[in-house]
Structure 1
């Protein structure tokens, strides 16, 4: 592991995309229209620096093999991106070879995790399929965490998968997308507590504002859900993520960070340091981004 990046905030979850390179087929409908445009690291950098963010984790957006090498190359030249959570086909028999190949690419040392859009899979037991189990085992053998982007009804399968793969670190994205807009806590909260009871699971404090009412949300709307994961996982197993630029549907980058800080104001300085930097640095084994050359 490289030197820690804890002196600054770590944004453990954001995206970029260029629609001239590849369509983002999930960006459809009127509600998502504001983000159906290009978003680059150059767009994010000034906002991140203004907010005190010193390092980020760039996360995959589509299930296309070409995207991860592109993201690794971006990270290799970036003063901001310390790690990439990429994608590979877990159902393919050569997952181990695919992961090893990624690590040989430019920026390959920045590969820090793997993710698949499980939320889009119609089978709620997708994570428990034999071919997926084999792929998850390969990710664990490679020493990489696995990000879970799921809907609440898929959380029971996440619990079983984490039980079956104690050697694999699972990171729950966006709290498992609780129904914040409706105000309902159950059965989401019970499922999250079951997942948190397993020592190989972590959670991102991310994606809250877009699960709430995007126009009228308040920090108080988010608090019951943040409090649930704070109690279940604890700060040492939670990490902050902005989910930029998706978050811009409901809030600015600065507002997302401010909301997270308000939601965690009761924590000690040590606990806040873990949630806003230390946990992500440890779980993803982050190294400082490329140093700028000052001429």
Structure 2
């Protein structure tokens, strides 16, 4: 498959409940995904083409606050050509954060560690990303040439804006578009803050996780389109990347339904713009270097 027909899923998860518990799955409503999901499940599920492209590469993202999980994801990437990069976890507040990152990069699959993420959406501190210890940790991330995935809810977007202001040379990607309150149909505050965040050129945004912010059983493209329009006009296609948030998206229709939705949303975009959203933005941000999505060793 030529580079022009690549399709990168910039955000998915895997978990083995026999090996590592996922406590968040115990929440009500998560019953359909309260089982083990592996790469073979993704391969058999992600069958729909988007703009004539089938899935060629993915970015697997941490689920729990565990360095051991990150080691497992890196080893998985080392063994599976489908995975082109890993977004892992390490304790940003730890004085040893630099040593931990170095150890991860030196271990099996360490070359595939391209970014770090913390589950800020679960933090009650409205200034968690501004804590001195966190900023110190993020500087260690930046110094190692890694990016940072920002996982927040819409009411926390001001933290991301301040982070972008204070660390302008730290590559950032906003996961799930900052979780806009689609189900409430109240996007004004989210839109204002997303546009402010997009004013910082080091920030990218994942078009992912939107269907679970809508009504998971009744959502339509009409519910998603206002969010897409804001993202497209704020970031431009060259700073947007497609992500499935699989298997979480199973709660709201699954990988193929979301893929079909993204194709409709892209219908007004040029070939170059479509390339950006479906492959090029993620390729650049996460350091994917070849048609099969493998990453270059970290420098």
Common fold: TM-score over 0.5: yes
Aligned partners of 1:203 and 1:237 also within 8 Å: yes
Query: Which residue is equivalent to 1:9?
Result: 7
For residues 212-245 of structure 1, give each alpha carbon's deviation from its aligned partner in whole angstroms, at most 9, with x where no partner exists: 1011100010000111011100000000000000
In the TM superposition, what is the alpha-carbon distance from 1:252 to its structure 2 partner?
2.0
Secondary structure, counterpart of 1:171 in structure 2: strand
> Which of 144, 157, 160 is the aligned partner of 1:158?
160
Alignment-derived partner of residue 177 in structure 2: 175
Kept in 2, the 8 Å contact 1:76–1:290? The answer is no
The count of aligned residue pairs is 288
Structure 1 gaps of 5+ residues are none
Tell whether the 8 Å contact from 1:6 to 1:278 is kept in structure 2 after alignment.
Answer: no
Asked if structure 1 preserves the Cα contact closer than 8 Å seen for 2:6 and 2:56, the reply is yes
Equivalent in 257, 260, 268 of residue 259 of structure 2: 257
Residue number in structure 1 paired with 2:45 = 47
With normalisation by structure 2, the TM-score equals 0.93
Q: Provide the C-alpha distance between the structure 2 equivalents of 1:45 and 1:77, rounded to a whole number of angstroms.
A: 15
1:143 and 1:11 map into 2 onto residues whose CA distance is 22
| 1:22 Cα deviation from its structure 2 partner | 1.2
Deviation at 1:27, TM superposition (A): 1.1
Alignment of 1:71-86 (within 5 A): 71-86=73-88
CA drift at 1:110: 0.8
| Corresponding residue SS for 2:204 | strand
Q: What secondary structure sits across from 1:287 in the alignment? A: coil
Match of 2:241 in 1: 239
Aligned partner of 1:228 among 222, 230, 234: 230
Mapping of residues 1-295 of structure 1, within 5 Å: 7-48=5-46, 51=49, 52-288=54-290, 289=292
Equivalent position of 2:297 in the other structure: none
Q: Following TM superposition, by how much is the alpha carbon of 1:48 offset from its aligned partner in structure 2, in angstroms?
A: 3.2
1:153 deviates by 1.2
The SS at the match of 2:25 is coil
